[in-house]
Amino acid sequence: MTTRTLFTNAHIATGQPGSTAAQTAPLQDILVEDGHFAAIGEGLAASLPAQGYDMTGVKTVDLGGKLVTPPFCDTHLHLDYVFTARKPGAVNESGTLFEGIQRWSDTKSDLTVDEIKARARKAVGMELRHGVQYIRSHADVTDPNLTSLKALLELKEELKDTVTIQIVSFPQEGMYSYEGPNGESGADLVEEGLRMGADCVGGIPHFEQCREFGERSMHTVVELASKYDKLIDVHCDETDDPNSRYVELLSALAYRAGIGPRTTASHTCSLGSADNAYFFHLTKLLKAAHINFACAPTENLYLQGRQDTFPKRRGITRVKELTDAGVNVSLGQDSMQDPWYPLGNGNMMIILDYVLHVAQMMSFPEIDDAMKFLTVNGATTLGMLDSYGVEVGKPANFVVLDADSVFNAVYERCDVLRSVRDGRTLFTATTSVDSATELL
């Protein structure tokens, strides 16, 4: 039997570039049939019956003039690390990225599949409650047992009807700096992770022991992506060192392999310290390659600038300059209470608020267009644009925000009132964040 719901009185920001629902825009109705958008327009509640459409059995939900957008995308998260910050031995005293990696390495040997899944499940529930339906999570594969990857692959499958999870085969301790107990390199384990079903190839060139290892890892990342037909997401240049320029090599190699749009450079903090002449030259390559950037503003504001006194660098990639150049930038929560960052609750409106401030993107047109960072830009990074957006024919996935325009949503850092997946309401605002795990 066909299930049909008519959502009425919505301000819609479709998720397409420049789609900025304003308070003054006419309210629209959304007809969902069997999990897909069947019709979108003004006055459908009246015009459909007039056109002979049989409204029998159609459930109506009045959205009361609230803002509808596609679901949020968190394009950079570590689900295997969540809620480990207080574990004995895991506390990061210096607040640096590199101590975080050491603390994780020191304390990860007792992880189990079930324990990781329980923590990750709680984190996904919190993200879901904040309007996220698409997550790219890294899974640390510098572990001969690949415990994190096994756990996240199971969770991805179990939750697929509620949330889309992409998994990166990520060598946290390096492709060529890590050596496992049986002589495995990080690169060997990344490849094994791809064979097991990870969606993306990861890397961490700035952490490798020397520049040559970092460069070699970028070649390996692109070769593996081509060999296994996978996406790429590299932790790239997450340092204030302006000489860390692996994004240049990654972009050039991806461009030459014809997989630039399937490639993401995460963090790229060094661009916040690079000089303008270098960035000017690099921009030409980034535009040609069409690679994506993922920025985690709260995380890197906390971790970077740790070797500075004052003036102290912000450690954030050039979100405004990349955006102005037409390069796609999306956002990530990155951490939820792990050895790198003690906070993080999955609320992407907070992440957006930070990036608008720190990147100084607060002209009225920029604010009116800001929701793209959580929506269409995220779907672009994830390579999911074909099935994403509030458009007839696509899966009926959307969120309802407690605002009547994009500007007011940003202004209020508004709450998410409802999340709809394949036409099914996952929650309404009566569900508290504390009980979010029950949504799954």
Which sequence positions are flagged as catalytic? 238
Name the token pair of 284. 């030409």
Any residues with CB less than 8 A from the CB of 432 and at least 6 apart, and which?
none
Beta bridge partners of residue 292, listed in sequence order: 264
Residue type, 253: L
Distance CA 247, CA 233 (A): 11
Distance CA 30, CA 303 (A): 43
Residue 142: which of 166, 182, 178, 181 has the closest Cα? 178
Beta bridge partners of residue 267, listed in sequence order: 236
11 close to 65: Cβ distance less than 8 angstroms: yes
Residue 159: which of 135, 181, 193 has the closest Cα? 135
Q: Where are the alpha helices (DSSP H) in 67-171?
A: 97-107, 113-129, 147-158
DSSP state of 386: G
Distance CA 438, CA 58 (A): 28
